[in-house]
Structures are given as C-alpha cells and as structure tokens.
Chains A and B, each alone.
Chain A
Amino acid sequence: MEPLRKTLSIHTSPHIASGADVARIMRHVIYALLPVCGFAIYAFGWAALLTLVVAVVVCWLSEVLFCRLLRKPATLADGSVTITGILFALTLPPGLPLWMTVVGAFAAVGLGKFLFGGLAANVFNPALVGRAFLQAAFPGAMTTWSPVLAADRFSQIPSSLLAAPFMQPNYDTVSSASPLALLKFEHTPTPLGDLFLGTTAGSLGETSSLIILLGGAYLIARGMMSWRIPAGILVAVAVVGGISYVADSERFGSPLFMLFSGGLMLGAMFMATDPVSSPVTHRGCFVYGLLIGLVVVVIRNWGGLAEGVMYAILFANAVSPHIDNWLQPLPFGRKPGHGRERGS
C-alpha cells in the first residue's frame, strides 16, 4: 500500500492556535503534580520515591519501545507519558513490590495507550488502565496499605518493595487499613482533619486533599483544565453522598468524608480531566463529572469494593463519546431537530 500523497491536509476544529500545545499543557500539569509527589515522598519516604522513579522510567522505556515497534515518531518529549507515569505511581499503595510497578507501568502504556493507537487515540486514561490491570492481577498486594509517616521511612527501604520478580512480597510492618476500608468493613470513621491534610493510610497520591486541590486550582487558574469536570464530580459526590448519609448515617460516610477520602480528589483533578478521554463540549464535561461522582458513591456505598474512583472514571471514559454525541452543539445555521448527524 502506497501512502496517499497529501496536498491538502484536513483538520478538525479548532483551527486557531492559542499557543497551548500539548507539551506546554503537560509541563504545567507536571508542575501541579510536583507538590503531590513531594508530599507522597514526605509521607512514605523511600517507598514513594522509588515507586515514582520506577513508574516514570518504565513508562518512558515502554513509550520508546512501542514507538519503535509501530514505526511512529517518538512522542516522549511532549511530556504526556511522564504524566501517565507519575499519575500511575500516585495511585499505587506505598508498599507495592517494584516488579509489580514495572508490570503495571508497562500495561498502562501498552494496553492503555498504544493498543488504541498512541497519544490522543486512547479511549481510557492510561494510568488508570495500568492500575486496573494491577488491581485485577494482584488484588491482595493492591489493597495492602503501609502506615503513613512511619518513623523509619527515610532510613530503610521496605522489604516488600524489593520482592523478587513474580514472588509475593513480605510485609515487615503490620498493614493499616485505608479510611474507606475502615468505614466500610469496620464502621470506624476517620477524623476529617487527618483526611484533609493527608495523614492517613492510602495510595501515594490520595492522601492530602489540600495539596491536590491547590494543584488543581493552579491548572484551572492558568486555563489549562476544564473546571467543569471536577466541579461535576464534587457536586455529584456531595449531593448523592449527602442523600445516602441522611438516609443511613450509620452505614455510609458523611459527604465531607466522601469528598476528602480515597482517590477522589486526585481522580477528580488529574485523572478525569485527561483531555483525551473526557468529553469535548462544556455541557458534556459537566455531565461526565456528574456521572463519575454518582458511580463513585454507588460503588463506595453499595459495591463490594471500598473505593470506586478508578472504575467510575474508566466507566465514564467509555461513555464520554456518547455524551459528546448526545450533547453535540448544533452546527451554525442549522435548526434544532433537523439533520443532526450522529455517530459519524
């Protein structure tokens, strides 16, 4: 097959460049993520640093490998894969063996990104695909949480991190339950202040809501991120969580607990807002956010799992083309109800 020689290149809109190219946006997202990483390292020490470094490096290597295999130009420099690596690492529990991190990072880039054709063609958020793969493959290790702010976190590397490839990790400290698991399985709520500041057990990046909120606010202020998606998620979680709390305050967490626990903030600010896998239209973004929030509360309250942010976002990723289709703005000059072409 000979490639078509292009004399005229056809683009979809937008046609006016604003200077906000992929690399520049990605750079700012990385800036916003740095404090989150910093806090993760402060809270979990060597474990967090090693997990972050390994995840990012493996994502880079996988990106280079797949670009070679598919004979595509390398897309390493635009920074998107670095973000995939950082976000993926931030969703992991701090004691996870590094070899599992390697498997997951490879799956994130391979299954999440290149299977669909590379940057901007992925249906799902690659970081979450990597995490979902690990969750399905190693459910035990993915729900074993190391204690936060352990005294020896900077003096020694946890032995579970260094488990030999394909072998089960040995945890040297007693694992502590995450706030969501505590509420769901032991009916013990966690103080809100701890949740807000991040001094609770959990994944690397799901602990401090405060720092994540600041990072998100920075991106919104710079106009690099749609505020409608996080707004939709937070509104839906607050409202649906509020209703269920009023209905049964024994069993379900309060809306504030719902908002500040687990991966909700990280998911709302950095995962759901992935421009590739979220809707294009303004109204679509809001609907998409509401859907995620609703599914999160449903999974947390009535599902078998303690946390549902990952599956909620992946589910909404799958629905987002339909949301776009449904809320497609009318082309200029067309009357409502006439010749609306769908599913092109």
Chain B
Amino acid sequence: MGQAGTGAARNGTGPLFRTLVGLGVVCSALIAMVYDLTQPLIRQQRLEVLEEAIFSLWPQGRAMQSLRVDAAGELSRVDAAAPTDDVAHAVYDANQRLLGFAIIASGMGYQDRIALLYAYDAREEQVKGIRVLESRETPGLGDRIGYDKRFTASFATLPIPLDDDGRLMNKLAAAKPGTRSQPWEIDTISGATISSRAVVDIVNRSAARWLSVLREESEKESR
C-alpha cells in the first residue's frame, strides 16, 4: 500500500491525529446535517404508525394525548412521537370526549420481545381490543398472536374489573384451546401456547401498573 500516505506523513502521530480529527469534524457535520433533514420525517412516520394503530382500536377516536406514570403513580403528559415503550394514550372522539385509553406494553415472547397495544375502556372496565406492534415470533406459529381471529377476538370485550383499592379482581389467565370457562380466561392458540401465554402475561403486568391510575384519570375527566 505504497501510495497511501507519502513522505513525512508515513510515521509520526501528528499527521494521523490531524487527519482523523479533520475527518471526524467533517463526518459529524455531515451526520448532523442529515439528522436535521430527516428528523421531522422520522417523527412524522412514528406518529402516523402510532395513530394508525390506536385509531384502529378506537375507530371513533380523533385525537389523543400520551401519558406516562411515574413511580408515585402520578400521571404526566408526554410527547407522542417520543420513542418509548411505557406510555398510555388517552383517546378522544370528535367532541373532545374521552373514549378510553390505548396502552403500550411489552415483554418477552418465545423468540424475542413482544410489544403490543391494547385498548382499555375505564367506564365499562373492559379491554376493547389488542394489536401486536412488534414481534419476532416464529412465522406461521407464534406470530399468529397478531392475526389469529379467535385469539384477538377474545380480547375484543374482555372484562377486567378492578376492586376498590385499584387492584385487578381477576388476573387474566391462559386456557388450553377450547377450554375457556371463565370470562377472564383466554384461549391460547394451539401450536403457539408460549407466545399466547406471553401476551396474557404482558397484558396482566401492564394492567396492574396502569389500570387504577387510568380509571382515576377517567373519573376526573367525566366529572
């Protein structure tokens, strides 16, 4: 490689230092420029994907407000396009009336993390639907949690009542295919037992964290 680096530049750390710093400055300037150009587009994309998912669960929804809960159980409003998992979205109809919530939840599946969105109606104390946002479950088996009609239908009007202390009265439970006997049980998909259980667990964990706070928020709004 005789051509690269000539004369005095061949040894010494000075020229190397200068070149790398120079390159670094030019490169970071370039990256910063591209970042500025693409960032609005990326935010727009994120928002569209999220809105599409939320409004598919709440067809009457027209507007939304993203919420986050801190360790003390206090709600705060956050920017919707921020890429974060632990967020719930309050969904409003055309008259600014609160319809319910869409909560993002995630946890381990069979292959990798599953992220999903479920709709919670605080007045009827029901889960109103579920949608898988991200999963790498086995195609044809585990990934049916996203499109198996019978499985998603069991989340369509799923009672999930809270007691007076804001705890779940009944945790959701996974039942073998076709053996569902309680309203809080969900038929697993045969051949995708682990993935279906994972979904139930994810919703359970997220519900324990969110539902009581959201129910309070909903009561406040309707007052």
Contacts and interface: CB of A to CB of B under 8 A. Distances in A.
7 contacts: A139-B140, A139-B141, A139-B191, A140-B140, A140-B141, A140-B191, A143-B191
Contacts of B141: 139-140
Contacts of B140: 139-140
Nearest to B138: A139
Interface string A34-63: 000000000000000000000000000000
A175 to B, nearest CB: 11
Contacts of A140: 140-141, 191
Contacts of B191: 139-140, 143
Chain A facing B: main interface SS:
loop
Chain B facing A: main interface SS:
loop
A140 B191 CA distance: 8
Interface residues of A, number: 3
A143 B140 CA distance: 14
Interface in B182-223: 191
Contacts of A139: 140-141, 191
B175 to A, nearest CB: 13
Interface of B: 140-141, 191
Nearest to B191: A140
A274 to B, nearest CB: 30
Interface in A130-159: 139-140, 143
Interface in A112-146: 139-140, 143
A51 to B, nearest CB: 23
B111 to A, nearest CB: 12
Nearest to A304: B194
Nearest to A143: B191
A154 to B, nearest CB: 30
A144 B141 CA distance: 14
A129 B191 CA distance: 23
A140 B140 CA distance: 8
Nearest to B194: A304
Contacts of A143: 191
A143 B192 CA distance: 14
A140 B143 CA distance: 14
Nearest to A137: B140
A140 B144 CA distance: 12
A140 B142 CA distance: 12
The 3 A-B residue pairs with the shortest CB-CB distance, nearest first, are A139-B141, A140-B191, A139-B140
A92 to B, nearest CB: 19
B157 to A, nearest CB: 29
A315 B100 CA distance: 54
A34 B191 CA distance: 34
B145 to A, nearest CB: 16
A139 B139 CA distance: 11
A143 B141 CA distance: 12
A82 to B, nearest CB: 33
A82 B106 CA distance: 52
